[in-house]
Chain A
Amino acid sequence: HKTREQFINRMDRLVLGRKKIDMDLLDELEEVLITSDLGVRTTQLLLEKVADKIKRQELKDPQKLRDQLREEITRILSVESSAWDPRSARPFVIMIIGVNGVGKTTTIGKLAHQFKSEGLKVMLVAADTFRAAAVEQLSLWGERVNVPVVKQKSGSDPSAVAFDAMDAAVSRGMDIVLLDTAGRMHTKVNLMEELKKVQRVVNRKDPSAPHEILLVLDASTGQNALSQARLFKEEIGVTGLILTKLDGTAKGGIIVAISDELQLPVRYIGIGESLDDLRPFDPEEFTRALF
């Protein structure tokens, strides 16, 4: 994005004008990787991969080193997965989950806008009945995008909302159902159980649903995002990721470790608070923006 166009990125600056690969360069490289939130383990893994080649004198040129690291990261991020095909079922039910405040509700607004502009009939479901004014927030997004919102009053059972919504979606001929859920810590057992119940209700209505369970991660989150992804995947069964808030200065490097370990594809990235601040994830572009 803008940062890439306006400035030479950190990695380029690092290798520019350097004639050879030395300890200094590797140290600085380590700093760049760590400060992008790749984490100690992934950083070591990446550097070990090139260290051998450097030792054997197969890799001497700093610019080649940069290219190799980029290639390797892009490869890790290019997780193989089933195709993203919202037209493969009707209604296609997408459940949005994640810890508190990462951008779930906003992302639903953006996704709804995108689907709608593709000519699909979209319905939003306010299954966050817990957080103050969460229902109102989703309703306002519904108004903005001009799509219906299924809701009950605050404090009601989220699985009851999901139950009603599944019926409503079928009877109203919806193509897409976007289900908003309350933010919750992945470590809170009772709240994870509540989420499973919502999932079960949806599944009972349509055995092929939910068709996608997207975990929303905040790009400014550090190593904890890995723990989030692990536990949500284990407990709920995540099918893909959305990385929000990439319009800030955080790089979201933890996604490399997550891709490597959990093989979850990143479906979209969020780059702002407006309707059209959603982009498909491009591993190569992401890697370049990383450093």
Chain B
Amino acid sequence: MFDNLSDKFQRIFKNLRGQGKLTEENIREALREVRMALLEADVHYKVAKDFVTGIAERAVGQEVMTSLTPGQQVIKIVNEALTDLMGGQSEPLRLIGKPPVCLLMVGLQGSGKTTTTAKLARKLVQEHRKPCLVPADVYRPAAIEQLVTLAGQINLPVYPSTVRQKPEEIAREAQGYAREHNCDTLIVDTAGRLHIDTELMGELGRLKEILQPAEILLVADAMTGQDAVQVASAFHETLGLSGVILTKLDGDARGGAALSIRAVTRCPIKFIGLGEKLDALEVFHPDRMSSRILGMGDVLSMIEKA
């Protein structure tokens, strides 16, 4: 019923094949379709508009490589632009500073913070760090138990928070606890909250003050629609995010939110979540995300060889 994005692109670009040169006229229709396809992938309205304008500027007047058809040439441009927009290269965590180095996990309700906290810890253990997990969600029923259970699965220490504590108190005490347990890294899981909840956003601000985190990571659901822009920019304005983790990419969401979030925050997307299990976390590769959105593995590898 709905074409997926890649079908759509493939169809568009087939129409362009056999034409010698990219001109404003022969790409107009294609650009309109590109814009529609991006919108269907949940890329924000304005982000999609700017993207298409950028493509037009890049494409028109460009010499078509002799080894490529004009259609392939446009795919190349779209793919490069998408990859650029998402940051070019993958970016590692920056865990610099006096230990225990802190990572603060923030985001909307249900985006995957608690699960991702444990996934990241597992990853850091593999890199020979000693993380300590800190449950600072005292609101959601059984949030602490959830993180404690996950930590148990990977044998990691957890600061023993209780729901009677304030998150600020937990943050303060967890630092000492980590030192006592010879941990060099703190990963602090916070309660899900709405970006318009000034009280709870204020709480995050205070946690930041106390913890002086090396990384403040926005955990965002890859299925998010147009609202991703508002959410990401609000969190970024309040906290100054250092990175983004995109979860639930194991479904069939096209993940346009990746583009939107990146475009409004300029923050690198550092990891992606690909499942509920703790090993389902991967480094984010902008080029792969772009070709995931484009879905044209074959064509792209052909272009790379050209």
Q: Which residues of A contact B (CB under 8 A)?
A: 31, 34-37, 39-41, 99-103, 109, 130-134, 136-137, 139-141, 144, 154, 183, 185-188, 218, 220-227, 245, 247-251, 253-254, 273
Nearest B residue to A144 via CB reads B141
Which of A41, A100, A132 is B146 in contact with, Cβ under 8 Å? A132
The docked-state distance in angstroms from the alpha carbon of A100 to that of B192 is 14
- The answer to whether B251 and A101 have CB atoms under 8 Å apart is no
Would A222 and B257 be within 8 Å (CB), given that A35-B45, A187-B251, A187-B252 are in contact? Answer: yes
Of the listed residues B141, B147, B257, the one surrounded by the most CB atoms of chain A closer than 10 A to its CB is B141
* Chain A residues with CB under 8 A of B276: 100, 130-131, 183
Q: Name the prevailing secondary structure of the B interface residues.
A: loop
Q: Which residues of B contact A (CB under 8 A)?
A: 2, 36, 39-42, 44-45, 108-112, 114-115, 139-143, 145-150, 153, 194-196, 221, 223-228, 230-231, 248, 250-254, 256-257, 276
Which of B111, B228, B256 is A101 in contact with, Cβ under 8 Å? B111
Nearest B residue to A248 via CB reads B194
Q: A133-B148, A221-B223, A245-B108 are in contact. List 6 more A-B contacts (CB 8 A).
A: A101-B111, A139-B142, A186-B251, A188-B250, A224-B223, A249-B227
21 contacting pairs across A/B (C-beta < 8 A): A34-B39, A35-B226, A40-B36, A99-B223, A99-B251, A100-B110, A101-B110, A132-B114, A132-B149, A132-B150, A186-B251, A186-B252, A218-B223, A220-B221, A220-B224, A221-B223, A222-B225, A222-B226, A222-B257, A248-B195, A250-B225
B267 to chain A, nearest CB (A): 19
Nearest B residue to A141 via CB reads B141
A289 to chain B, nearest CB (A): 14
* Chain B residues with CB under 8 A of A41: 2, 40
The docked-state distance in angstroms from the alpha carbon of A130 to that of B150 is 12
The docked-state distance in angstroms from the alpha carbon of A248 to that of B230 is 10
- The answer to whether A248 and B223 have CB atoms under 8 Å apart is no
- The answer to whether B225 and A137 have CB atoms under 8 Å apart is no
The docked-state distance in angstroms from the alpha carbon of A65 to that of B92 is 51
* Chain A residues with CB under 8 A of B196: 248-249
Which of A109, A221, A253 is B224 in contact with, Cβ under 8 Å? A221
The docked-state distance in angstroms from the alpha carbon of A141 to that of B142 is 10
- The answer to whether B142 and A223 have CB atoms under 8 Å apart is no
- The answer to whether B45 and A34 have CB atoms under 8 Å apart is yes
* Chain B residues with CB under 8 A of A141: 141
Nearest A residue to B253 via CB reads A224
Which of A102, A140, A251 is B141 in contact with, Cβ under 8 Å? A140
- The answer to whether A254 and B225 have CB atoms under 8 Å apart is yes
* Chain A residues with CB under 8 A of B250: 185, 187-188
Nearest A residue to B194 via CB reads A248
- The answer to whether A245 and B109 have CB atoms under 8 Å apart is yes
B136 to chain A, nearest CB (A): 16
Would A221 and B221 be within 8 Å (CB), given that A100-B276, A186-B251 are in contact? Answer: yes
* Chain B residues with CB under 8 A of A185: 248, 250-252
Which of B42, B109, B141, B227 is A223 in contact with, Cβ under 8 Å? B42
- The answer to whether B251 and A218 have CB atoms under 8 Å apart is no
The docked-state distance in angstroms from the alpha carbon of A103 to that of B140 is 12
The docked-state distance in angstroms from the alpha carbon of A103 to that of B146 is 16
Nearest A residue to B273 via CB reads A100
B20 to chain A, nearest CB (A): 31
Which of A34, A136, A224, A250 is B251 in contact with, Cβ under 8 Å? A224
* Chain A residues with CB under 8 A of B36: 40
The docked-state distance in angstroms from the alpha carbon of A106 to that of B5 is 34
* Chain B residues with CB under 8 A of A224: 42, 223, 251-254
Q: Which 7 residue pairs are nearest across A and B when measured between Cβ atoms?
A: A222-B225, A101-B110, A222-B42, A140-B141, A250-B227, A133-B146, A132-B149
The docked-state distance in angstroms from the alpha carbon of A144 to that of B142 is 13
The docked-state distance in angstroms from the alpha carbon of A132 to that of B256 is 29
B6 to chain A, nearest CB (A): 15
- The answer to whether A137 and B110 have CB atoms under 8 Å apart is no
- The answer to whether B110 and A34 have CB atoms under 8 Å apart is no
